[in-house]
Chain A
C-alpha cells in the first residue's frame, strides 16, 4: 500500500481556511522558513480513503478477540466515546476559571473518590498520563517522603516477574534496583525477600496478581516484611481487573497504587495510547502528591496548587481529562457491582486454562486470576514449534495472539487474558484454534512456520529494520520496494 506522501500531487489540498482581511505577518526574514515542509497534498476523498484503507489493515477489540496478556483488552462502550464529545467537555479550555469548569472538576473529584474506594486508600492524584508515569510519580513521591523524614533509602525491591517498566521507573527516579526471586508456586520467594530488605530499602514494587496471573498467597507477609524494615509498598495496578470489589491493594498492605485506566476501566488504547495512570496513596503520603489537587468545599470544586511538599507536576494541567470521562462513565455503569466484572474476568480465564492444559504446558499449576501463562516448551522440544509460531498461526484463525515471551521466568511463554466481556462461544472458538494449532504442530509443522498467511503481510525481517533503519519517508531517496 502506498504511503500518503506517495499519493501527493503538488497543488492538491483538503483544507480551505476562512477568508479574512488581515495585515501581513511581520516575521523577521532570518526567522522565516525558506522551503516548505513536504506534508501530504491530497484532496479530502483520497484523504478519507487512505486512512480507511489503513484501518482495514489493523485489528482492534472491535474486530475480534484480543487476549493480549497484561493489557486487559475489554470492550470499549460507545456511550463513553459520546460522553467525551459533549461540547462542555470537548471544548473546555484547561485555563478556564474554576467557576466555569465546575462540571469537569466535579467529575474528577468523583473519580478520585471512586478510585480511593476501589483501592482502599485515602487520597488520589489523577495526573499521571499512563501506568509507567504513575510508577515514576509514586517512586518520586516515596523518595520525597523519605527525604522529608531525613532518611536515606535508595533501594527498591522488584520481583523477576515484573513488567520492564518497574525497573526502568526505578532508574528514572534515581533509585536502585534489587531483584527478588519467585518461588515454585509463583509467589515472591519470602526467604529471598527477607534477605534483601535492609535499612536501605525504600520499598517494594509488586503486581498482584502477578504477571503469571497468580495471586500471591504470601501477600500479608510480604508487605509486613517491607513495613518492618521501614519501607513502603507500591502496587502496580496493571492487573487490578482481577480483584475489583474482591480485594483492595490498601487492605493488602500497599501504600501507593497506580491504576491503569486504559486497562481496568476501559479507556480504548488507540493503537498505543492514550492511557491514564492515576495514583492512590495513604493519608500520610497525600502532601507529596502532584499539583494541582482537585478539592471540594461544600458544593464548590477547585484546583489547589498550594502543596509545599508536593513532588511538583508530572504532566501538563490536571491530567488526561478525556480519559477520566470514559473511565468515570464506565465505573458508573457498574457501581457497587464492579465485583461482577472481576468475577467474570477470572471465570473466563480459568475456563480457557482448563481447556488449554490439554495441549500446552502449565508452569504453575494453580487456579489463575484474570490471566494465565502457558508454555509451548513441549511443542518446541517435540516438534520445533515455538510460542512465536503459535502466535502467528492464531492470526490465520482470526484471533489476535496473546502476549508472548513474557514473563521472562517462563520459557516459550504465552500469556493469555480473555477479559470479562467475551462470550462463551468466543472462548470455545479460541480453545478450538489453540488445540488445532497444537495438532498442526504434530501433523504439519510447516503450516505453522509459514504463518500468518491471512494477513496483508507475512512475517517481517525485523533484523533488517534494525540494521538498515528507515524511520521516515525519504521522498526521492526512498528505497524502492514492492
Chain B
C-alpha cells in the first residue's frame, strides 16, 4: 500500500481531512469541556484495552482533492472504455445512450443525498418518483404491481424464486440454460439458503422447447426464461408461459425493458412475474454497477414481494400523498419472518430509469426497438459469418467464428474493434462462438467496419 505515494510524489500530510470536518480546535475543546471530559480518548473509555488499536492504520498518506483527481484519472486511463474502440460488447450490459436530462436530475442533491423515505412528509419528491417508476414498470411488463427496485437483474431472479417457493409450496425451480449465466449463478447461490432445487432446461436450437419445459415443470414452483434470451434469440415465450402454468408453476419472464416497445408484455401472455436488469434503460455501464433490477408481479402476489413499495394515500387535509406501504412484509417489522432482508436498494438508479423512460416515451421506445432489431438484421445480412442459431433476434446476434472466439476478440481489438462476447466463457462447445450486440449507438457504417475487421482477422 505504499506504491501510490511514490507514484503521486510526496503528499503533504496536514490540512487534508479538514475538508469534511467543520470543528475548529477551539470548538473541540469547548465541546469536550461541555461533555465533562478532558480529551477525545476519554470518550473511548468503554473499549477494553485488548481491542484498542495501538498503532496508526497502515494506509497511504492523505490526498488533497487535486491529487485525488489526478490519481483517479491515472487509474481510469488504464481502462479501455467504449468510447476508445468500436464496441459490440453486450451479453447483459449494453452501450445505450444516456441522455443529459438523466445526469441533470441525478445531480440534484435533494435526491442524491437523501436516505430511504422513512419520513414521508419530507420525502414526497422521491416517493412520487418511485410511484411513477412502479407505474412505468407495470405498463411495460403488463403486470399489476412493481417494487421500488432490487439490486440487479440477477438478484431479482433469486427474489422471484423465493416468492414462487412460498406461493406454491413447491421446492424446485426450472431455469433455462438460455438465461444469462450470471443470473443462473446467483439463483444457485441463493437457492442453497432457500433449500430450493434448481433444474436447468436445455438449449434447443438457441431457445427452449415448451414441451420439454412443461415436462420439467411438473412439481416446480417457477419456470424462469429470458426474453430475448442470452443469445439474443426470441424465445417462444407465450408457449413457455403456458407450459409452466399448465404444470402449476409460476411463469417468470426475465426481460429487457427496451424490447417491450416491440415485444409482447409478459403479463399479456400469462406470466405471474416479470423481472430484469435495468442498466440499459438509463444507467451507465460503470464496469457492472450500480444498476437497478426490477420486479413486477400479479396482484395476488403483492404481499409476498420483497423490497420497498410506494402507495398513494391522503394527508390530514385530504391532499394526495405518497408513502412506503405494505411494510409488514419487511424485515424491520417482521424480522425473521420477512419476505426478504433487503433494505438499501437501487432507488437512484431506478430514478434514472424513470427519467430515461419518460424521455423516450412510447414512440421513442418503439423506434429504439426497431432500430436495434433492424441493425441486428443488417448485421446478419452483412457479416461474413454464420449465425449460431436460426431464430428471430432483437439486439444481439450469436455467430460461429472460423477461429477460437477469444483469438478473434484479441486480434480484432488490436485493430480497434471489440467484436463481442466469446460465448465459450460460459458454454461448453461454444469456443468458436461470438455474441455481437447492436444498440442504437452503432451505425450501418460501424457494421461495415466490423465486417471488414472480422474478415481481416480470419473469423
Contacts and interface: CB of A to CB of B under 8 A. Distances in A.
B131 interface: yes
B132 A131 contact: no
Give the bracket for the number of chain B residues in contact with chain A. Answer: 35 or more
Contacts of A103: 74-79
A15 B364 contact: yes
Given A40-B361, A106-B75, A33 B338 contact: no
A336 B378 CA distance: 56
Interface string B346-383: 11110100010111111111111111011101100100
Contact of B374 (A24, A174, A312, A334): A24
A68 B361 contact: no
Interface string B10-30: 010100110111110001101
A97 B413 contact: yes
Interface centre among A17, A18, A91 (most CB of B within 10 A): A91
Interface string A316-327: 111111110100
A92 B136 CA distance: 28
A114 B262 contact: no
A392 B121 contact: yes
Contacts of B76: 86-89, 103
A422 B22 CA distance: 6
A290 to B, nearest CB: 8
B111 A456 contact: no
A309 to B, nearest CB: 13
A86 B326 CA distance: 40
Nearest to B351: A271
Nearest to A106: B75
Contacts of B334: 164, 168
B384 interface: no
A356 interface: no
B153 to A, nearest CB: 6
Interface in B236-287: 237-238, 260-265, 268, 277, 284-287
B21 A421 contact: yes
A92 B81 contact: yes
A297 interface: no
A473 B132 contact: yes
A58 B123 contact: yes
B118 A333 contact: no
B298 interface: no
A25 B311 contact: no
B6 interface: no
Contact of A270 (B30, B112, B362, B371): B112
A214 B120 CA distance: 29
B44 A246 contact: yes
A41 B1 CA distance: 52
B443 to A, nearest CB: 6
Given A103-B79, A171-B336, A334-B17, A460 B348 contact: no
Contacts of A36: 261, 362-363, 365-366
Contacts of B351: 270-271
Nearest to A140: B193
Contacts, number: 723
A172 B155 CA distance: 13
Contacts of B289: 94, 129, 274, 315-317, 319-323
Nearest to B360: A15
B69 A79 contact: yes
A466 interface: yes
Contacts of B367: 17
Contact of A167 (B22, B111, B145, B336): B336
A316 B185 CA distance: 9
Contacts of B107: 81
A90 interface: yes
Contact of B111 (A130, A215, A271): A271
Contacts of B338: 164, 168, 171
Interface stretch (B45-53, B210-218, B448-456): B45-53
A313 B186 contact: yes
Give the bracket for the number of chain A residues in contact with chain B. Answer: 35 or more
Nearest to A61: B113
Contacts of B71: 332
Interface centre among B60, B151, B337, B360 (most CB of A within 10 A): B151
B135 to A, nearest CB: 4
B168 interface: no
Contacts of A462: 313, 323, 325
B188 interface: yes
Interface string A96-126: 1100111110110010011001101000000
A292 B335 CA distance: 31
A56 B264 CA distance: 37
Interface in A248-296: 248, 251-252, 260, 262, 268-276, 290
Interface in B99-124: 99, 101, 104-105, 107-124
A132 B359 contact: no
Given A215-B46, A401-B119, A91 B358 contact: no
Contacts of B35: 347, 350-351, 354
Contacts of A482: 314, 317-320
A177 B336 contact: yes
Contacts of B129: 51, 54, 271
Given A58-B114, A117-B1, A31 B302 contact: no
Contacts of A23: 374, 377-378, 381
A117 B361 contact: no
Contacts of B332: 163-164, 406
A149 interface: no
A383 interface: no
Contacts of B27: 424
Nearest to B85: A100
B312 interface: yes
Contacts of B286: 84, 89-90, 92, 321-322
A33 B142 CA distance: 11
B458 interface: no
Contact of A274 (B22, B28, B290): B290
B139 interface: yes
Interface stretch (A191-199, A337-345, A373-381, A440-448): A337-345
B61 A458 contact: no
Contacts of B72: 83, 86, 89, 325, 329
Contacts of A306: none
B63 interface: yes
Interface in A330-367: 331-341, 343-344, 346-348, 350-351, 354-355, 366-367
A91 B286 CA distance: 6
A320 B290 contact: yes
Contact of B48 (A90, A220, A290, A391): A220
Contacts of B263: 27, 31-33
Interface in A56-70: 56-63, 66, 68
Interface centre among A84, A339, A344, A423 (most CB of B within 10 A): A344
A135 interface: yes
| Interchain residue pairs A-B with the least CB separation, the first 5 | A270-B348, A88-B76, A317-B288, A62-B109, A22-B374
7 contacts: A31-B392, A81-B112, A87-B81, A132-B331, A335-B57, A336-B62, A340-B21
Given A58-B124, A92-B80, A94-B288, 10 more contacts: A26-B392, A32-B262, A59-B110, A93-B285, A103-B76, A103-B77, A117-B1, A129-B290, A140-B189, A217-B48
